[in-house]
Structure 1
């Protein structure tokens, strides 16, 4: 950087770290973390800048920062020293306190000022501290940003003791057209970057930080902008598909991986033998995606086509050779899938039940055979409650883990459930049984489908409840950072199914039944309560995602509700009620009632109508009794929204009661009667939720 920055203008900063090919799915996270770290360092230093632009390819992490100030702004500094009274002796000579303070600043005592403070007059010194140059600040900012990168497994290379995700080979640090002297990971900064490994293996000299993207693209054959590279891949893949009259299936995770694998994307179409289409499409797709990162194609009837699209990282002079090379590679992969499929079909799925006895589910909870037996009992109980065929449900539970020991699932674990469904159909099992083997894994993620059929719903819920009660029972509860058995996802899955399918199931009852099936855990009530609490607490995120307040969740959570479908209906009812004009007043009144009743040694008895002496308390009693009769059938039908709408009309008599009636009367009988009246009011609302929680924010 130029030495004279007094009149220099803001320039673009470019940082590029060049290395061996980085893990493709980690690329976005790494470059975002680098950009965040540098941004934070600049902000902490008080430097002003414009845009922060992260760029990344498999071989580089780069950040451009536009309009970055050449130096920190100057700042006014005030240093306070000893009190004036302690700074001079009786003769007016400086004391050691004054001399020491002046010496620490490098000035004479005579140059100090007297400054009035809220603690009296003190010696001090005011001066302007010049800002540091950006060039001087950047080495430490960059070092801290690189050290903080989320690299889970670091490696060393050569004789160096430097550690990073992959070996690093070059470092660019340019501020405008000047190199910023700095060192990171054992590399000294320069203006030399590198282009495509094959198309432009020589170094490229960057004249200015603003030229980075353009010079990498030409002559470098590198598209450093991940979003542009992504758009290019989508456009090219769709273009190739159109030429075949097909639709390319572009799944996000595969697309992210391909974006992280190439610097110069070139889409090409290859083909495979039609005979492989006899294998279930999911097997072929898994093989193409997992092994080769290919995009598969569908015809107009949504059938898998014997073709694929690969994204090459090279612009070949003879593309056909690249295509044929990919076809040669995929052929044995698909042949393996066909072999696994044929091998698995040679014996029925049910014949694998015995193998499950040798597959451990969890060492303290037994084998997969033990789990299947437990799930079978629980699934049947659920089936009886939701009207599913119990025989089909038990059969599905019996077969539910059998595909885990098939050759296909051992090779492609993501096909569990899918292969169970295919093999069950080939064996002539009932369609409901076969479908349940696939549906037991639904939903797999937020927003995914839930099981469509009752048999699948019963099996999916039973499997998750067995896992939850078992893992909690052996003390392996999830933490904020560790959940190896995906218990949070299991709990959310149960809620999604029961709410989405409107199943009237009591989780407390089912968890108790699930606990009884385990002979290695204590099935006592505290365990059931703990798991139930954990599951119902997952409603908090559901409520938040639906735009509800935390208070709405707390209002419902305060009640002993263990039916998820019922819990969800209450949530929506309280959410709607919270937007009524009467809500806050009634919430405050209920809070007041709760505080009053909490201080009583014993629960109030029933209201004695004859002791209601004030017009306001008689009016409130009549209103409560009327609303009790009106809301009882609504609550019985779980029409909580209408019940709360009706209860909202209590605002006027409640307000009048608190305005006109002394609850804590000196007359013991009157006081007890009024407490009983308030208990009745509170109980009426508690039939739905504890709306006192709505006044907590």
Structure 2
């Protein structure tokens, strides 16, 4: 079959930078999916994206569908003809629907008997005939943030569309989108090469645009910017800090990147570095520079979209623009420092956290009460924890955080230090929000850890308590992230805290009757699900996770220690036999109405294999139980692994469910002892190879 390269480009005004790659990927995926569903194969595909274009290229695309035979099954032969062999309406109707006479129908034996059939030869359509609908559907399904109309056009898109390019091989395809007929013309850089460019085949696309000062490949342009930024920094003996999100956004803003180094006044360095960095990045899309000690330098790197003959003028313009931005940041900081954080406490009463759960003041008071309980549990200083909690939300009321919300906590630390608060209290202003995202650092101070737990638990208990549980993709209060944060904080900071006790303590900080009766049970179930998800992401076998979940362990650190031990045990040669034995014991006990506590084991009734098992259990029980009590689950399982031979010997030679009730109950009591030894760690019966 003939194969040709396919190229499609949509040219428009500058697209929203944060939506650019999503639009390009969606366009590519929709068209690729359509080709596959229409059985049009291709060797490779890729997408391109610049501020003024979305493009896709498919290499060696089938120029037409293959011809094929399609079999249609009709009515049963018995129902299609009368006794004389004349066709009934069922046969004639089926033949008519196939566009043939009854005589052209064949017969086919199926599992439902013999049926009429017709095999039709279907000629494949040309790709050029299918492409209009494919592209029309793909474009209409693009995740456009906000559509607009332009000129006299009735079409809608994210930005006005100026040209459409669609070619298969060297042929311009009969496509019309946004009331524009497709051609083979593209356009270069708006300023460097604004004239049209003829693209005669898909292979030339990138090189033709490169000659016209457009780096069409998003990833190539991104890599080019990174290299330019790093090299520009080296020229002034500095290091550029390349934030990935900023790099992504800047890449979506330019077609021909040129890195330029500018500077700002030293006086602004009296402002916290994070505030200056946020101002430069958010407002101007500048990359900041640091020295060998990691200190912010009074320089920046901007990415221009033109290669100017007078770069000094471009740099000067950027320096003029950034000065008022940094001056604003300095004003905010200086103004905020005129007041103490505690002066904002009353202002918290004016900001609603959630209609039913009250204001930020109410939330900070609840956090304070819960922090005191957690501090007591950890043997930490309660006064320090409650003081930090009282002012933990105050920086949200400052000018700086109002302007740059991402600086919440960070500015709180600076302001608390400026107020003369002790170092733990100051650190906790920032650490309360840790971890901010997956893999983020955790609090370094005990007070920060306490507040981080209390803040998340208050949100979880409150939102669950008023029935606003996360559903599907909707999680407006980021409860999944909050719960994972709690689990990480407790586990990775190695603190012994119980979720039941924490939830109870948090519930007690809310007004009576505010939270529903299912709050605790729903939240514990939610934590269990998040625990499973967390360990699955770490690559832990689901059976291992379930074996510990079966015990309803509510101490995250204890859960972690059990998981670690069971995961190692599951990889030993003994685990399979012992898991099978535990499963067998579990099934036997569940099917009986036997109560092990009601039976005292009588060793006089034992056979040799029972005696061996009983003696072995007694020999290891004290050690195993002491290790379990100490949380040394690995040592306990190592000891239990030695039971493999005696357990196998028991089940190979002893029948538990014999007719004699006394002997049967004696044996049930014995295997119950065996199972209880393992259940002190996990339900090993769930480990199936």
- Normalising by structure 1, we get a TM-score of 0.94
Q: Distance in 1 between matches of 2:277 and 2:653?
A: 75
Q: Distance in 1 between matches of 2:496 and 2:114?
A: 76
- Which residue, out of 530, 550, 561, partners 2:553? 561
Paired residues of 2:368 and 2:386 also in contact (CA < 8 A): yes
Counterpart in the other structure of 1:518: 510
Paired residues of 2:341 and 2:394 also in contact (CA < 8 A): yes
Q: Distance in 1 between matches of 2:109 and 2:345?
A: 88
Paired residues of 1:620 and 1:653 also in contact (CA < 8 A): yes
1:32-431 equivalences in 2 (<5 Å): 32-82=25-75, 96-115=89-108, 117=110, 123-219=116-212, 221-431=213-423
Q: Distance in 1 between matches of 2:115 and 2:347?
A: 86
Counterpart in the other structure of 2:592: 600
Per-residue CA deviation, residues 576-625 of structure 1 (Å, 9 max, x unaligned), is 11111222222222222222222334522244133542222222222222
Paired residues of 1:27 and 1:56 also in contact (CA < 8 A): yes
Counterpart in the other structure of 1:4: none
SS of the aligned residue for 2:687 comes to helix
Matched, 1:631 2:647: no
Counterpart in the other structure of 2:573: 581
Question: Cα–Cα, structure 1 residues 448 and 123, in superposed 2: closer, same or farther, change >3 Å?
Answer: closer
- CA RMSD, aligned part only? 2.1
Counterpart in the other structure of 1:548: 540
SS of the aligned residue for 1:538 comes to helix
Shift of 1:207: 1.5
Matched, 1:490 2:495: no
Question: Cα–Cα, structure 1 residues 262 and 613, in superposed 2: closer, same or farther, change >3 Å?
Answer: same
SS of the aligned residue for 1:398 comes to helix
Question: Cα–Cα, structure 1 residues 411 and 82, in superposed 2: closer, same or farther, change >3 Å?
Answer: closer
Question: Cα–Cα, structure 1 residues 679 and 327, in superposed 2: closer, same or farther, change >3 Å?
Answer: same
Question: Cα–Cα, structure 1 residues 297 and 395, in superposed 2: closer, same or farther, change >3 Å?
Answer: same
Q: Distance in 2 between matches of 1:17 and 1:403?
A: 46
Shift of 1:28: 1.6
Per-residue CA deviation, residues 650-670 of structure 1 (Å, 9 max, x unaligned), is 222222222222222222222
Q: Distance in 1 between matches of 2:436 and 2:111?
A: 64
Question: Cα–Cα, structure 1 residues 115 and 449, in superposed 2: closer, same or farther, change >3 Å?
Answer: closer
Matched, 1:462 2:454: yes
Shift of 1:44: 0.9
- Which residue, out of 497, 502, 508, partners 2:500? 508
Q: Distance in 2 between matches of 1:462 and 1:624?
A: 44
Paired residues of 2:466 and 2:515 also in contact (CA < 8 A): no
Question: Cα–Cα, structure 1 residues 342 and 680, in superposed 2: closer, same or farther, change >3 Å?
Answer: same
Paired residues of 1:611 and 1:673 also in contact (CA < 8 A): no
Matched, 1:474 2:466: yes
Counterpart in the other structure of 2:612: 619
Q: Distance in 2 between matches of 1:77 and 1:532?
A: 55
Which stretch shifts more, 604-613 or 234-243? 604-613
Q: Distance in 2 between matches of 1:598 and 1:185?
A: 69
Shift of 1:15: 1.2
Shift of 1:247: 0.3
Paired residues of 1:54 and 1:62 also in contact (CA < 8 A): yes
Paired residues of 2:356 and 2:466 also in contact (CA < 8 A): yes
Show structure 1 runs of 5+ residues with no match.
Answer: 1-7
SS of the aligned residue for 2:571 comes to coil
Per-residue CA deviation, residues 359-401 of structure 1 (Å, 9 max, x unaligned), is 2221211111111111112112212222332222121111111
Per-residue CA deviation, residues 24-80 of structure 1 (Å, 9 max, x unaligned), is 122222211211111111111111211111111112111100011111112123344
- Which residue, out of 675, 692, 695, partners 2:685? 692
Per-residue CA deviation, residues 307-345 of structure 1 (Å, 9 max, x unaligned), is 100001112221111111111110000000000011001
Matched, 1:682 2:675: yes
Matched, 1:591 2:583: yes
Shift of 1:265: 0.7
